[in-house]
Amino acid sequence: MTVDVAVSASGSGNVLLQAQNGAMAVNAGVSSGSGHISVLSSGAQTYSAAGDVSTGSRVEDSTTLRGRLDLSAGSTLTMDVGTALATDGGNVRLSTTGTSSDVTLGVVDARTTSDRGANTLAQQSAAPGWGSVAIVASGSVLDAAADTATPTNVYANGLRVSAGGSVGVLGASVNAIETEVVTLAASAGSGGINLIDDTALTIGSVSSVSVNRVTNTGSVSAEPATAEAALAGLSTTASSNGSIVARATALTVSNAVGANGSGNVLLQAQS
């Protein structure tokens, strides 16, 4: 499936785009006023700079209902450096299920619309609060931008990242995943973890990040179907020898940080 013109659901309408037997290329905006959006494919997903995906929020009976984003690919999921996935404080979940399939990030933005517009952290952890983000990659989680170009990759309250390969890149081609989050938990394999946060960061525990998967009837179901166990601290998996680098302006370590085997650890509070 190729999306070359905008797809938009008004009001609380949901959106499902599904390539049931192949790849998905999103080259134009996909949006809902305040509904949920699912982009699903059995093959790879690519998002051009114009392929933004966004939803908002609405108030019903004095309760704010926030649209959520659910992107799942059977192979790689690749965003352009200019691609933005944005909610009004709703959760976002990105996942790949193919063998060693990478997630490459542009900008994943779960800020409230008001904080985004004012470029402030006022509601990051205070009501109404930013959404949380989960990234699950069978391969690595990578930054679409070069390390010398540092747009923030993820804006969220809580961020949990699980990768079969690396989270960011260490070594000669060093390239960190840039975040603006309150609490971070990550697990990676070979290649280790390289993350840098824009402000203060707690390495802690992040519970299951729920989104709403849009079905072929236009209604929604829970995703993941069974809540995942909380992910805590920073770790590299058995036999990976993966190193861990985490930097922020201020750093609080509330859960264990463990590098497998000969992996090194750098925790740095830097100005």
**217 to 8, 31, 130, 179: CA distances (angstroms):** 17, 18, 29, 36
pLDDT digits (tens, 9 = 90+) for 165-222: 999 999 999 999 999 999 999 999 999 999 999 999 999 999 999 999 999 999 999 9
pTM for the complete prediction? 0.96
Give mean pLDDT, residues 155-171: 97
Across 54-74, b (16+ Cβ under 10 Å) vs e yields bbbbeeeeeeebbbbbbbbbb
What per-residue confidence (pLDDT) applies to 227? 85
What per-residue confidence (pLDDT) applies to 225? 82
Q: How far apart are CA 120 and CA 49, in angstroms?
A: 24
Q: In the chain, count of helices (H) and strands (E)?
A: 1, 33
Q: Is 117 helix (H, G, I), strand (E, B) or coil?
A: helix
In this structure, are residues 234 and 258 in contact, taking their beta carbons and an 8 Å threshold?
yes
